[in-house]
Amino acid sequence: MPALRFHLPTAVTTSRGGLRRAVELVPARCRSVMVVTGAASAERAGYIASLVAGLDAAGKRATVFRGVEENPAIETVDRGVAHARACGADALIGLGGGSALDAAKAIAVCAAVAMPARTVLAMKPAPRGCIWFLAIPTTAGTGSEVTPYALLTDTAVPDKVNLSTPDSLPAAALLDAELTVNMPARLTCATGVDALSHAVEGMLSLRSQPLTDALAIEAVRLAGRALPRALAAPADLDAREQMLVASCLAGMVIAHTGTTACHALSYYLTLHHGVHHGHACGMLLGAVVDWARPHLPGKVRLIEEALGSPVPAFMTRCGLPGLASCNLGEAELDAMAASAAPRSNVQSTAGTPSARDLGAIARAACAAQPQPLP
């Protein structure tokens, strides 16, 4: 049996109903709370107003840092840090999708160590410290509430960079299914497929271990049943909660295994074609599983059993378009493989694909036709 190395300090709570629990989770010693959000939808649905009112009633000073964009830029983090320092924040609450949570996480680290994000990104070893941080996801997919990763965009390149330190795991995570029922179907699908990718990739990672496999297979099983239900009946709170739990379990998995070639390849589609992160992963996942099949036949069988079908058939069932819809030419497929090849998550993919293999995986994903359910 491989050695176990498992550490998860985040206190995870499920709760339904209007963010009341969020205020109770903030430690008494924290007096000034900065809420970080990006989602205009969070604002529209009244979540932010309700959270601020709750914090006020509890005697906390509450401020809001709004406008974290999708795929947040490094500069956005620095603006958030300036805001946090100006209001003397000693606690942060991130409320939103993966982008808002990742930005909030990076702000919590950079504000604590009083350094610009670029400095923290370049430091080895990473600086220690983080402001107390509660993550409240309003989508079910990234698992950011239980990972140390903050995926930021370096707009100068452009490229995805990962700000992650030994202290960047959130102190607490609140999973409230009611916050996710307003997601449009497209976002429910994209984020749900992202969660599924995390679980599957975690199982196919050379860094997997029995504890992460146990969490991953349960995440695949939950997502396999709950995602089609949440798409068919958006107000189904049980399905929504199961997707939040699936996403959280899958986040715990990648907090330990990292992602694999599927995520490495996907970044090109997001950076150069504006494809949503989850959709980009979903377009590639079937081909990555096929690549892993000869290396890990038993695990691939377990994944397909838990999901209830092969991966491409599940994507079709969820209405996800194939990679062919991006109309990538030969040169672009090569560029996609070349951009993925140096990434560390390729090294931890079972079978360790070369740049040439990555090109073959991308071509296989392009060639795959939508598959009917068995």
**For 1, which DSSP code?**
-
Closest approach of Fe ion to the CB of residue 54, in Å:
30
- Per the omega criterion (within 30 degrees of 0), is the bond before 158 cis? yes
Closest approach of Fe ion to the CB of residue 371, in Å:
23
Lookup: tokens for 366: 């392009």
- DSSP E strand boundaries for the chain: 11-14, 32-37, 61-65, 91-96, 132-137, 150-154, 159-163, 172-175
Place of tokens 């992160």: 277
Cα–Cα distance for residue pair 100/108, rounded to 1 Å: 12
Q: Are 287 and 364 in contact (CB under 8 A)?
A: yes
| Choice between 194 and 213, CB closer to Fe ion | 194
3-state helix/strand/coil string of 247-265: HHHHHHHHHHHCCCHHHHH
Burial category of 295 from C-beta neighbours within 10 Å (exposed 0-12, middle 13-18, buried 19 and up): middle
| Choice between 171 and 254, CB closer to Fe ion | 254
- Contacting residues toward Fe ion, per CB under 5 A: 194
Closest approach of Fe ion to the CB of residue 339, in Å:
16
Cα–Cα distance for residue pair 318/192, rounded to 1 Å: 10
| Choice between 160 and 240, CB closer to Fe ion | 160
**Spatial CB neighbours of 128, under 8 Å, sequence gap ≥ 6:** 113, 165, 166, 167
Closest approach of Fe ion to the CB of residue 130, in Å:
22
Closest approach of Fe ion to the CB of residue 330, in Å:
27
Lookup: tokens for 209: 């271990």
Cα diameter, the chain: 60
| Choice between 61 and 273, CB closer to Fe ion | 273
Question: Residues 168-201, buried b or exposed e (16+ Cβ, 10 A)?
Answer: bbbbbbbbbbbbbbbbeeebbbbbbbbbbbbbbb
In DSSP terms, 11 is beta-bridged to 172
| Choice between 68 and 81, CB closer to Fe ion | 68
| Choice between 102 and 194, CB closer to Fe ion | 194
| Choice between 64 and 340, CB closer to Fe ion | 340
Closest approach of Fe ion to the CB of residue 125, in Å:
25
Closest approach of Fe ion to the CB of residue 254, in Å:
8
Closest approach of Fe ion to the CB of residue 191, in Å:
9
Closest approach of Fe ion to the CB of residue 143, in Å:
8
| Choice between 26 and 200, CB closer to Fe ion | 200
| Choice between 167 and 194, CB closer to Fe ion | 194
| Choice between 48 and 252, CB closer to Fe ion | 252
Closest approach of Fe ion to the CB of residue 250, in Å:
9
Tell me the three state secondary structure of residue 44: helix
Lookup: tokens for 143: 């698992």
Cα–Cα distance for residue pair 187/353, rounded to 1 Å: 30
Residue number with the smallest Cβ distance to Fe ion:
194
Lookup: tokens for 239: 């399905």
